[in-house]
């Protein structure tokens, strides 16, 4: 047995003991995420392995369920970040390119997990070290060096040379292919890095002096032919350098702010710098400066033309102005403009929903801007020209790994609506109870994720165990767990520091569009169940909480768990819906179901018993738009807690 990700070295002596230790001590990084594994009923954390939060600390990559196309590149980066020896275990994942073939594959069941882990331990113990271990390469990992003109960012070449516009020597710049796993930079030793500040230096050789002979040190746009005072601030104008006259804006070689955190951060800097270099008129003197690096050797003002602001008398020519660097940057909430870095979180970030790519622009540790995107993407609902009803129901349920029962029920209800079929009262109650059971599991899963994110590990462990117990449990199983679940809820309500952690963050106003618990936690809100006679007969009443912040959402979810327990008890039976027999009916129908994350609406069109058209509105589609609101000007930890409090499912978001 060989391990694809073995570490270089002969398997002998002490290495055998080390390999045995590695086999015992498995640290797993789970793709797409532990939440997906739990939704499939797999108890990873309870299988004598540690689930870790960064691939750097993992030696096993566990892939659960099929890997969505949008996550493949990120998965490759994640794998590349793991230190060798590293292994891959797939549980029902199928094709996992561009990752190397799985070392062990097993079906995604509890028994499969057990046998898979046992096999994995054997493989690692036998083959952790190998003399001929190969390199792992994937397109996503290639760092491309491209050449760009410091003055004309639109000029990008693959080879060094001169800029066709101004004749300056192009400078190298690293770019990585898109789709990084959110853990900046991989580990290839590379010594000579292109320094962004060199861009800035060169970039300063930008336009020649000022227009007039005198200018205000504070307001460079004030230009006068004669000495005097600035009309804006009353300061004495200072002598500007002689130069050809052209109006210059505030250009700043922004690249000087080089923390350089990973190539993505570089990219972000480049983007910042780009608008600094955006427009500039012709400048004929540029050729004179082509190819000069740095500014050493320039001993005078004459012919230097090196500063985008008119050089103030007395300032040495090589001096790089900090005012210019900070000038165009947006102000942050505290008025101190810091270097902004763009940090990607996700798609496999431990504290965020798996598959969600959150890009935060950080100003210090305050979030200045954010962008949330689902890398999973929802595919077409109807595969091909038409599908049978059974295939369609199965496909929709498989597309939503975090809520399969609710979407299965939704698909069945919509098809029944289209075919005017009636499942009967008993079936309706069974279905309602099945959806409620999934709601309990989903909310418990959310509590586990929240516990993990906020370091409330007791909650994470307890909620995880209860979620696994509830999933797929029959009516007696639920009744057996009800006491424990209620105790957990009470404990959550009274946990110390909870209000301090979640209170008043991620507040959402009453007019912003929102769905599901997010909506009901702000005092108003709607619930698709409120119009369902079956549920009303079971005693359903809409839960509402005031506040609209993350704490209210937590409490509302707890309320809903308690209520769902009551509803299941009242329903008396749990039944996942059967695919309705539609034969050759044609027609259109729509159904709405309150999934754990909010109301989902499906409209289907049947032709001769086949589904030909379908349209789905999901709650996460609505709620993902709130990310920007809830993170704006928040401290990083609060921003992440805010995003988590929305309970997004990237699988529901339109691709």
Partner 1 sequence: MIVELLIALSVGAGLFGVGLYGALSQTNLVMIVMGVELILAAALVNLVAFWRYLHPDEPAGQMFVLIVMAVMAVEMAVAFGIAIARFRVRGSVEMEEARELKG
Partner 2 sequence: MTVQMIFLAFFGGAAVWFGVVVFRTHSMVRSALALLFSQTAIGAMFLVMQAEFLGVLQIMMMATEMSVMAIFMVMFMMDPGGMGKMDMTHQKRLSLWAGGIGLLAALLLVWLPDWSPVALSVPGAHEQAADLGRELLGRSMFIFQSAGLTILTAMIAATMVAIVPNAEQGK
Partner 3 sequence: MSILVVLLSLAAGAYALAVIERWAVHGHLSLTGPAWAALALLGRESLLARKSDRLFFELGPVLLLVAGLMAVAVIPLAPGLIITDLATGALFLNAALAYVLVALIMAGWGPNGAYAMIAGWRFLGQFIAYAMLIVMPITAVAMRAESLSTVEIVTSQEQLWNVLYQPMGFILFVVAAMGLAWLPPLDLPDATGELAGGVEAEYTGVRLAVLRLARMVIILALAGATVTFYLGGWLGPWLPPWAWSAIKILAVAAAMLSIGRYMPRIREARYLALSWKLGISLALANIFVVGVIALVVPI
Does 294 sit near partner 2 (CB under 8 A)? yes
**Which of partner 1, partner 3, partner 2, none does residue 238 bind (CB under 5 to 8 Å by kind)?**
partner 1
Shortest CB 184 distance to partner 2, Å: 14
| Residue 250 in the binding site for partner 2 (CB under 8 A) | no
Calculated CA dihedral for residues 540, 491, 47, 61, nearest 10 degrees: 80
Q: How far apart are CA 262 and CA 265, in angstroms?
A: 5
Alpha-carbon distance of 372 to 643, in angstroms, equals 9
- Quick note: the x/- pattern for partner 3 over 460-479, rule CB under 8 A, is -x------------------
Which of 259, 275, 490, 654 touches partner 3 by CB under 8 A?
Answer: 259
- The answer to whether residue 197 forms part of the interface with partner 1 (CB under 8 A) is no
Distance CA 274, CA 267 (A): 10
Q: Which is nearer to partner 2, 208 or 325 (CB)?
A: 325
CA distances (Å), 345 to each of 56, 189, 269, 355, 370, in order? 15, 24, 17, 10, 10
Q: How far is CA 62 from CA 581, 588, 623, 641, in A?
A: 38, 42, 29, 26
Which of the listed partners (partner 2, partner 1, partner 3, none) does 235 bind, with a CB threshold of 5 to 8 Å by partner kind?
Answer: partner 1
283 binds partner 3, rule: CB under 8 A: no
Tell whether residue 25 is a contact of partner 3 (CB under 8 A): yes
**7 interacts with partner 3 by CB under 8 A:** yes
Q: Does 21 bind partner 3 (CB under 8 A)?
A: yes
DSSP 134-155: PPP--GGGPEEEEEE-SS-TT-
In the complex, the smallest distance separating the C-beta of residue 325 from partner 2, rounded to whole angstroms, is 5
The entry of partner 3, partner 1, partner 2, none near residue 184 (CB within 5 to 8 angstroms by kind) is partner 3
Q: Of 118, 145, 322, 542, which one interacts with partner 1 (CB under 8 A)? A: 322
**Chain centre to alpha carbon of residue 109:** 28
Alpha-carbon span 497 to 471, nearest angstrom? 30
Q: Which residues pair with 8 in a beta bridge?
A: 130
How far, in Å, CA of 633 to CA of 132, rounded?
Answer: 51
Contact string (CB under 8 A) for partner 1, positions 226-255, x = contact: ---------x--x-----------------
Torsion angles phi and psi, residue 640, rounded to 5: -70, -40
- Of 320 and 498, nearer to partner 2 (C-beta) is 320
H/E stretch holding 611: strand 610-617
Residue of the chain from 150, 217, 306, 346 that contacts partner 1 (CB under 8 A): 217
What three-state secondary structure class fits 294? coil
CB-based contacts of 270: which residues, under 8 Å, 6+ apart?
153, 173, 196, 255
Choose among partner 3, partner 1, partner 2, none what residue 195 binds, the Cβ cut-off being 5 to 8 Å by kind.
partner 2
For residue 245, how many other CB atoms are within 10 A of its CB?
A: 11
97 binding partner 1? (CB under 8 A):
no
| Nearest distance, CB of residue 334 and partner 1, angstroms | 9
Judged by CB under 8 A, does residue 495 bind partner 3?
yes
319 interacts with partner 1 by CB under 8 A? yes
The residue assigned the tokens 């001929």 is 132
Radius of gyration of the chain measured on its C-alpha atoms: 30
Q: How many other CB atoms are there within 10 angstroms of residue 509's CB atom?
A: 9
Q: Residue 236: beta bridge partners?
A: 229
* Contact region with partner 3 (CB under 8 A), list: 13-21, 316-324, 399-407, 482-490: 13-21
The reply to whether 201 sits near partner 2 by the rule CB under 8 A is yes
Q: Which residues are near partner 1 by CB under 8 A?
A: 217-218, 235, 238, 312, 314-316, 319, 321-323, 325-327, 329, 335-337
Q: Which residues are near partner 2 by CB under 8 A?
A: 193, 195-198, 200-201, 256-260, 294-295, 316, 318-320, 322, 325, 334-336, 338-339
């Amino acid at each position: 047995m060989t391990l694809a990700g073995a570490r270089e070295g002969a398997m002998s002596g002490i290495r055998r003991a080390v390999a045995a230790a590695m086999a015992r001590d498995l640290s797993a990084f789970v793709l797409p995420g532990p939440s997906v594994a739990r939704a499939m009923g797999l108890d990873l954390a309870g299988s004598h392995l540690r689930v870790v939060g960064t691939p750097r600390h993992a030696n096993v990559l566990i892939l659960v369920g099929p890997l969505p196309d949008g996550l493949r590149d990120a998965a490759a980066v994640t794998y590349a970040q793991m230190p060798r020896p590293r292994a891959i275990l797939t549980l029902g994942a199928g094709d996992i390119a561009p990752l190397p073939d799985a070392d062990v594959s097993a079906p995604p069941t509890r028994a499969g997990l057990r046998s898979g882990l046992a096999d994995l331990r054997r493989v690692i113990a036998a083959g952790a070290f190998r003399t001929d271990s190969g390199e792992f390469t994937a397109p996503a990992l290639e760092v491309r060096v491209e050449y760009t003109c410091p003055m004309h960012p639109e000029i990008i070449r693959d080879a060094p040379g001169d800029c066709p516009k101004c004749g300056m020597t192009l400078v190298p710049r690293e770019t990585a292919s898109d789709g990084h796993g959110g853990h900046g930079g991989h580990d290839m030793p590379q010594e000579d890095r292109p320094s962004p500040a060199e861009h800035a230096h060169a970039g300063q050789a930008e336009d020649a002096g000022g227009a007039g002979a005198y200018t205000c040190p504070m307001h460079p746009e004030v230009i006068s032919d004669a000495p005097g005072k600035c009309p804006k601030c009353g300061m004495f104008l200072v002598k500007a350098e002689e130069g050809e006259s052209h109006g210059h804006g505030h250009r700043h070689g922004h690249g000087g702010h080089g923390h350089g955190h990973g190539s993505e951060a570089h990219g972000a800097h480049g983007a910042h710098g780009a608008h600094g270099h955006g427009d500039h008129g012709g400048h004929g003197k540029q050729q004179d400066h082509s190819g000069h690096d740095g500014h050493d050797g320039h001993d005078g003002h004459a012919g230097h033309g090196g500063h985008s602001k008119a050089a103030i008398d007395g300032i040495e020519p090589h001096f790089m102005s900090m005012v210019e660097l900070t000038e165009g940057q947006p102000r942050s909430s505290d008025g101190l403009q810091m270097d902004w870095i763009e940090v990607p979180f996700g798609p496999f970030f431990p504290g965020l929903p798996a598959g969600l790519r959150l890009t935060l622009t950080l100003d210090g540790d305050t979030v200045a801007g954010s962008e949330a995107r689902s890398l999973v993407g929802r595919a077409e609902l109807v595969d091909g020209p038409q599908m049978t009803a059974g295939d369609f129901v199965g496909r929709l349920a498989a597309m939503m790994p975090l809520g399969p029962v609710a979407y299965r029920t939704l698909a069945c209800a919509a098809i029944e609506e289209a075919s005017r079929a009636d499942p009967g009262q008993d079936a309706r109650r069974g279905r309602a109870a099945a959806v409620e059971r999934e709601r309990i599991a989903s909310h418990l899963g959310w509590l586990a994720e929240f516990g993990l994110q906020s370091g409330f590990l007791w909650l994470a462990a307890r909620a995880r165990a209860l979620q696994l117990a509830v999933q797929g449990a029959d009516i007696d199983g639920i009744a057996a767990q009800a006491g424990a679940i209620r105790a957990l809820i009470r404990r959550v309500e009274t946990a110390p520091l909870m209000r301090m952690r979640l209170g008043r963050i991620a507040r959402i106003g009453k007019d912003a569009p929102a769905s599901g618990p997010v909506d009901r936690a702000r005092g108003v809100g709607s619930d698709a169940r409120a119009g369902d006679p079956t549920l009303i007969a079971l005693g359903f009443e809409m839960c509402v909480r005031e506040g609209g912040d993350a704490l209210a959402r937590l409490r509302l979810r707890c309320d809903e768990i308690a209520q769902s327990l009551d509803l299941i008890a009242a329903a008396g039976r749990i039944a996942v819906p059967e695919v309705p027999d539609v034969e050759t009916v044609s027609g259109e129908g729509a159904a709405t179901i309150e999934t754990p994350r909010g109301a989902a609406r499906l409209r289907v069109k049947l032709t001769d018993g086949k589904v030909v058209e379908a349209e789905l509105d999901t709650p996460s589609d609505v709620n993902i738009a709130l990310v920007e609101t809830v993170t704006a000007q928040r401290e990083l930890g609060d921003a992440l807690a805010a995003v988590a409090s929305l309970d997004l499912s990237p699988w529901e978001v339109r691709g």
